[in-house]
Amino acid sequence: MKIKILGFNLFAKGGTSRSNINLIKSFNKANHEVVYYNFKTFDKTAKFNTMINEQLFDKHLSFEEFKTSEDFVNADLVILTRETFFYLAREIKSINPNAMVVGEIHGPLAYIDDNQDLAFDAIDAYRVSSIDIKHDFIERYGKENVFNQYVDASHIIVNEEPSVTRRNLLIKARFEDNIKDISYVIKMMNRIINVKGYDDIHLYIKGYGPSEILYKNLIHYYQLEEHVHMNEREPKNYIYISSSPYETLGYSILESIAEGNKAFIYAGEDGVLKRIYEPYHAVQFLEKDIQEDSERLIEFIDNKYTKEERAEDVALLNATFIDRDYASDFIEASKACMDGLKVGSGSKSQVTQKVRKKSKLEYGRDLYEQYKTKPVIRRVLNNEKVFNFAKKKYEKRKMDKLKQQYDAITPSENKVFIESFHGNNFSGDPKYIALYIKEHFPEKEVYVSSRNALVDMEIRNHNLIPIRFGSAIYNQTFRSCKYVVVNGNTLDSVFKHKDQIFVQTWHGFPLKRMLNDLEDKTERNAQVAAFKPRMKKWDYLLTSSAVNTMLLESSFNIQPEQDLQILQLGAPRNEYLMKHDETEKERVLTKYFFTKSNDKKYILFCPTWRKEKRALLSKINLNILLEQLPEEYEIIVKLHPNESHLRVTYSELSDRIHCFYNELVDIQELYLISDAMITDYSSTIFDYAHLNKPIFLLQEDTEVYSEQIGFYFDIFELVTIEIASNDERILARQLLENKQPDYQNITDQLLQDDKIGTTENIVNYIFK
């Protein structure tokens, strides 16, 4: 049989490359002729390295670069090893109708986009890893031409003896945290080393990819440099760790067990790995609970892996993965899928036109890229007026094209889009609405906007789906969601669909004047001009009282005839504060300080943002302040997202001063664990008043701020709030006096609609 295989890049290391190499060897061993086509351009050195290292010298084997579907003209069997190649099946069938075309799905079904073209009209059979994935495939797509067969593992040598771990842990994976969740293991190591005190345990992480900087930051953040080692020489004996949300088999897991090592792995959101590896004595499962998993891992390290247990595992490994005729099984299973299946081929010209047709926009862009280096064209393009005119025209056409594409997307009732502070972190009202929906409406998919990998990590901690802010997938996902919940402006490039419902929660009770109420006329006009068209997207605006409603109506210049409904039902972020208990406080302490111990007194220091760049938040010297306070007093500095660059400055001031990554912080959680707050003219005053803990107001530039921005009302006429002294010694005495404040006037007059049940009422109203 003449077999042709298309892969992305055989000559780069990875699980799919290993699978394809084994596949090639299996077919050659069974005397089939194999031509492997590499999608990515490769050089001879890479090719020869792979051939030498893998002993790929069969006379019936050749390697080619993929050019067109014509490459497959005389194949008996074509194997497409990547979902993004499946569309080629149509052209292959039109060229070679008698070829059997098999599509291999190496990754979890959960990672296949709903819009991915799987070419059901052209592919004869699909191979997936396990029986569970096969059943999920049939249920999801309604197609029966699928078979399950683990990837070939013929490269694995099974060690008869169990290894001795020596308290080393190992992860080998691509650094993509949204897929591998290695950050979870780093956080678990923080608990094991810094909280539990196990100084002799080491984690080795080997790989490459976009999340490398995230992992380095976390290692530094948790001070684990001596215990977590990236891309250093791996230990001979170890416990392998995998915390991936989804895996279809996990080559590295299988290889580690075969070598005689134990494995501590996550069963997966779909439970696939549990059904594969549960019979093995060498395997223990983690549950994605850091405290529980830390204890379980330490116990697993200490437990001996006996020779008797190893013998049973070896027998199971051989029976499942080694003792089989892979090529014959693959071909027979593929043929079985074809029985009774008729696949339409279409005409070659129609298929080619369907696949290759470009838009005028794409054609113009490609033409520009092709000719921009030509001397005459370059001189024309270097003319600023010509270039700007062409660019403006291109951008307008691009925007019109995008709008057409987005208009073709129908928002789904079961999809919700959440954005907190433009994706800079996951907090505020949108967060608590998202968590309520996740718990009470499990059928709905909740997507959350994220600026970077740290925010991704926080979102995934709540089992929600992070979407990169401003990306193409962001725009598509945004438009596919019927419900959009935000606490600020949305991107202008994302157009609202007529069926979408926008919920604006805003991000705090206004003390400072905003928009239409700003004192500075020039600034007011500029902000209103930018804000007004964005506001037209809103369907609902949340408020916490009649006063809150009045101030926002004034600021946003809301008119009665506007199609905007104000929901005066309270703030979900404050319901969280009102219904907290000791269990939640312990969880928050564990998140930020890795302990449930409540023997510290934390002062929350969070002056509001200033437009002008500053080196420090305040004139107050926090080190001098701490010198005047007992040892159990520590300070948490909460930075505004626009001043995140100051984190290192404050983190290095003292061991008693904590300044967390803004991306990981929810200020409501910091309210919960702090004993007092120092702030200025910030909306934090009103949220914090729900807890009735001492608030101290900084007054360092009140007069200037009042002239430039202005205030809606004098808070001191409403309630007594203590002024924070600029003298650190006096301020320390103020903090130690421990007077019991009374902020009932604030909660009664300004926040009376904040209550237990607020979030439920809002969500039920929106979903009605």
What distance in Å separates the CA atoms of residue 277 and residue 279, rounded to the nearest whole number? Answer: 6
How big is the CA angle at 746 (ends 744 and 747), to the nearest 5 degrees? 65
Q: Is the dihedral of CA 553, 555, 561, 566 positive or negative?
A: negative
pLDDT digits (tens, 9 = 90+) for 236-271: 999 999 999 999 998 899 999 999 999 999 999 889
CA geometry: angle 715, 425, 549, nearest 5 deg: 35
Spans of the chain, pLDDT less than 70: 340-381, 398-399, 609-617, 701-702, 704-708
Tell me the torsion sign for CA atoms 574, 578, 579, 580: positive
CA gap 604, 625 in Å, rounded: 13
Sorted by where each begins, the domain ranges of the chain are 2-153, 168-305, 358-406, 409-571, 581-750
Phi, psi at 16, each rounded to 5°? -70, -40
What is the pLDDT, as a whole number, of residue 349? 39
- Spatial strand order in the sheet of 633-637: 657-658, 633-637, 601-605, 676-679, 695-697, 722-723
Q: Do 503 and 483 touch, CB atoms closer than 8 A?
A: yes
- Residue 394 three-state SS: helix
In this prediction, residue 180 carries a pLDDT of 94
CA dist 479 and 470 (Å) reads 13
Whole-angstrom distance, CA of residue 764 vs CA of residue 457 = 29
What is the fold of 168-305?
Rossmann fold (3.40.50)
Instruction: Round to whole Å and give the CA distance between 175 and 210.
Output: 6
Amino acid identity, residue 414?
N
Res 357: pLDDT: 43
What are 125's two structure tokens? 């059979």
- Nearest CA-CA partner of 246 in 80, 150, 144, 133: 133
DSSP conformation class of 462: T
Cα–Cα distance for residue pair 7/224, rounded to 1 Å: 39
- Contact 37/64 with Cβ under 8 angstroms? yes
- Whether 409-571 and 168-305 are alike in CATH topology: the answer is yes
Secondary structure class of 749 (helix, strand, coil):
helix
d(CA 118, CA 85): 9
H or E element at residue 228: strand 228-230
SS3 175: coil
DSSP string, 532-594: HHHHTT-SEEE-SSHHHHHHHHHHHT--TTSS-EEE-S--HHHHHHHT--HHHHHHHHHHHHS
> Angle at CA 199, nearest 5°, toward 197 and 203?
115
Q: Half-sphere exposure (CA, 13 Å, Cβ side) for 463?
A: 13
Which CATH number describes the domain made up of 581-750?
Answer: 3.40.50.12580
Fold of 2-153: Rossmann fold (3.40.50)
One-letter identity of residue 111: Y
- pLDDT at residue 83 in the model: 94
User: SS in 3 state form for 350-393?
Assistant: HHHHHHHCCCHHHHHHHHHHHHCCCHHHHHHHCCHHHHHHHHHH
Token digits of residue 517: 């109420």
pLDDT at 701: 66
| CA–CA–CA angle 313, 319, 324 (5° rounding) | 145
What kind of fold does domain 409-571 have according to CATH? Answer: Rossmann fold (3.40.50)
CA–CA separation, 689 and 747 (whole Å): 7
